[in-house]
Structure 1
Amino acid sequence: MKMFKISPEVPEVSRIGLGCMRIPELENEKAVRTLIEGALECGINFFDHADIYGGGRAEELFGDALTPELREKLVIQTKCAIHPGTSYDFSKEHILESVNGSLKRLKTEYVDLLLLHRPDALMQPEEVAEAFEILKREGKVKAFGVSNHNPMQIELLNSACDNQICVNQIQYSVAHCPTIDAGFNVNVGNDAGCSRDGSVIEYCRLKKITLQAWSPFQYGMFEGTFIGSPRFPELNDVLNRLADKYQVSVNAIAIAWILRHPAGIQAIVGSTKLQRVRDTAEAAGVELTRDEWYELYMSAGKNLP
């Protein structure tokens, strides 16, 4: 497994992380512990949570499965700021309350990273900075980031937060990469040329902010997976051919496409099936050629101008 530094305050992390949104589907803490230990055996030490996953149940089950020895081997990230279906909340009180709730459910004294889940239009960056300062001083959070933010939203936060934002988690896959599409279609009068995220990949590369890819097997907004989908016959043909070439799973090839980008994107894979986790971890050993990367992109129905 390839490892890298996400922040000076955080131990080295795996290029592939395990998303924990679906953990409530598992039967009990023993099944969760088996999943955690299986991921570690594959070299995956990074686990991504959010306070809203399963209404808090995902964190709770994960915490039940942890032992002190196991906790020390893991890098745990969680997210906050969503009131499901009603609002986003970057108030100091909500951030502090959310973290305390996550720590209680996870049965840990700290999380390595805290992300603000979606942008809050009513954000006061100075208030966020106060929350970050308290959490860091109390040893409850080591480093901070955001999810689904554009460059200027990050700039606004960093103006008060002493440039502490070190992560931005975005939806990204070979079948859903509008930020790549817009980059190819600069100065072209088509829909693909519309930049909806402010060149977030280039911005994060310039600012040394780690990009994390959520839903790396999805197309659209939770419309489904492209793996094996009749909507993507050409893409699946290429995935299968490359899987045969590299002697890995098609899931690994889909993740290898993400890892091939020079931005150093970390793929967050949400699965509770240990064999799928093992298959996906094989991506770390695959280095796609430039031609293969572009072939996969084009086979997903993309066009170059």
Structure 2
Amino acid sequence: MKSIKIGNSNWKASAIALGIMRMNVLDSNKAVEVIETAYKNGINFIDTADIYDLGKSDEVFGEALKKSSLTRDNFYIQSKGGIINNNGKSKSFPEGLRYDFSKKHIIESVEGSLKRLKTDYLDSFLLHRPDTLMEVEQIAEAFDELETSGKVRHFGVSNFNPEQYKLVQSGINQKLMINQLQFSIMHTGMIDFGIHTNMTDNGSISHDGSILEFSRRKNITIQAWSPFQYGFFDGTFINNEKFPELNQKLKQLGDKYDVGKNAIATAWILKHPANMQVILGTMNPKHIEDSAAGGDVVLTNQEWYDVYFAAGNDLP
């Protein structure tokens, strides 16, 4: 498993991370198998969020790590906060549906995550989705307090466009190192826009404000979430009869490199020079092993484009 540099720093982590959003449905023994499989295959980065089943995923991971043969020092652990959507289901958060980047909520989000994860610190904390009511001064005060106390070592954002990123960065003392964005073979808007520059077709529409180019210039690590999904959690494109040409190409390349389709889909993301990190969401140990193998596959430029075409894309 190759390592990548996170942001413009000396922090290096595995190019593939394990997202634990779906860990809430596992018992602790199965969760142990998941995290030990991930680590065995070179994955040393864990991604979570306080909203994942209202903290249940955090709790299962915390228990599993305690029961496993691994320790806190074996992993970098990242959490996200700012989304409130519980409709009174939990006493841990105020009721309602909103985004909340107040100093109070940010600090409470981190402290709640630390308790559930059974750890003293987070390696990174991300603002989960942009809050149009955010006050940068509140974010700055929260980040300063969390950094000074040693509870958070690095900071970033998730699903932010360039101007939102710059707005937050302009008012805080820490360097934002990460932007977590949806990206996969079947979710390529940030690439399509650049390829279709000076055209008038749908591919030329910028939905994200040139976030890919902005991130490359600023040395921001893009963490690609839902790497095997199409649409917005509509399902996986792997072995999906809706995408026969794509799956045929993934199999062809998988046979060439002696890996599975998940590995090729992962390698396709890692091929991009933006130096992205792939976040796996699967809780299936076999799929984790297969996907992790993509960290050692280097596609040719032509193979990368062939996969892009098989997904239904074109060149102007």
Specify the TM-score bucket, using the shorter chain as the normaliser. over 0.9
Q: Answer with 205-214 or 157-166: which moved more.
A: 157-166
> 2:233, 2:313 → 1: CA distance?
19
What does residue 259 of structure 1 align with? 270
Could you tell me whether the CA contact under 8 Å between 1:172 and 1:215 is conserved in 2? yes
* C-alpha separation in 1, matches of 2:71 and 2:207: 41
Q: Distance in 2 between matches of 1:10 and 1:99?
A: 24
2:39 alignment partner AA = L
In 1, Cα distance between equivalents of 2:281 and 2:225: 8
Measured in 2, the distance between the counterparts of 1:215 and 1:20 equals 12
- Residues 264/3 of structure 1: CA separation in 2 closer, same or farther (3 Å cut): same
Report if the CA contact (8 A) 1:10-1:112 is conserved. Answer: no
Match of 1:170 among 150, 171, 181: 181
Aligned ranges 1:11-22 → 2 under 5 Å: 11-22=11-22
1:26 aligned residue: 26
- Residue of structure 2 in register with 1:62 after alignment: 61
Moved more, 9-18 or 255-264: 9-18
Shift of 1:282: 0.5
Count of residue correspondences: 304
Evaluate the alpha carbon distance shift between residue 10 and residue 61 of structure 1 in structure 2; reply closer, same or farther with a 3 A threshold. Answer: farther
2:280 matched residue in structure 1: 269
- C-alpha separation in 2, matches of 1:223 and 1:230: 14
Tell me, in whole angstroms, the C-alpha distance in 1 between the residues paired with 2:149 and 2:173: 18
Instruction: Name the SS for the 2:179 alignment partner.
Output: strand
Answer yes or no: is the 8 Å Cα contact 1:89–1:123 preserved in 2: yes
Q: Is residue 63 of structure 2 the alignment partner of residue 52 of structure 1?
A: no
Give the whole-Å Cα distance in 1 for the aligned partners of 2:209 and 2:225: 19
**Separation of aligned partners in 1, 2:139 and 2:227:** 29
Alpha-carbon RMSD? 1.5
| Structural mapping, 1:116-131, within 5 Å | 116-131=127-142
Q: 1:1-305 counterparts in 2 under 5 A? A: 1-6=1-6, 11-27=11-27, 29-67=28-66, 70-84=71-85, 86-162=97-173, 164-305=175-316
Task: Specify whether residues 66 and 8 from structure 1 end up closer, same or farther in structure 2 by C-alpha distance, changes over 3 A only.
Answer: farther
**Is residue 10–residue 143 contact of structure 1 (8 Å, CA) maintained in 2?**
no
CA distance in 2, matches of 1:244, 1:140: 45
Cα pair 2:156 2:179 within 8 Å, conserved:
yes
The one-letter amino acid paired with 1:36 is I
Displaced runs of 4 or more, over 2 A: 7-12, 66-69
Judged with a 3 Å threshold, the aligned counterparts in structure 2 of structure 1 residues 208 and 47 are, in CA distance, closer, same or farther, namely same
What SS is found at the alignment partner of 1:13? strand
Query: TM-score under structure 2 normalisation?
Result: 0.93
The verdict on how the C-alpha distance between 1:11 and 1:163 changes in structure 2, with shifts beyond 3 A counting, is closer
How far the C-alpha of 1:105 sits from its partner, in A, is 0.5
Report deviation, 1:8. 7.5
| Contact 2:230/2:237 (<8 A) preserved | yes
User: Would the alpha carbon gap of residues 119 and 39 (structure 1) be closer, same or farther in structure 2, given more than 3 Å must change?
Assistant: same
Query: Which piece of structure 1 moves more, 73-82 or 161-170?
Result: 161-170
Q: Name the CA distance, whole Å, in 2 between partners of 1:134 and 1:207.
A: 25
**Residues 271 and 277, structure 1, Cα contact 8 Å, conserved in 2:** yes
Does structure 2 retain, via aligned residues, the 8 Å contact 1:81–1:95?
Answer: yes
2:8 and 2:219 in contact (8 A); partners too: no
Cα distance in structure 1, aligned partners of 2:202 and 2:138? 37
AA partner of residue 64 (structure 1): E
Take 1:100 and 1:160, find their aligned partners in 2: how far apart are those partners? 23
Offset of residue 12 of structure 1: 2.5
Q: Which runs of 5+ in 2 are unaligned?
A: 86-95
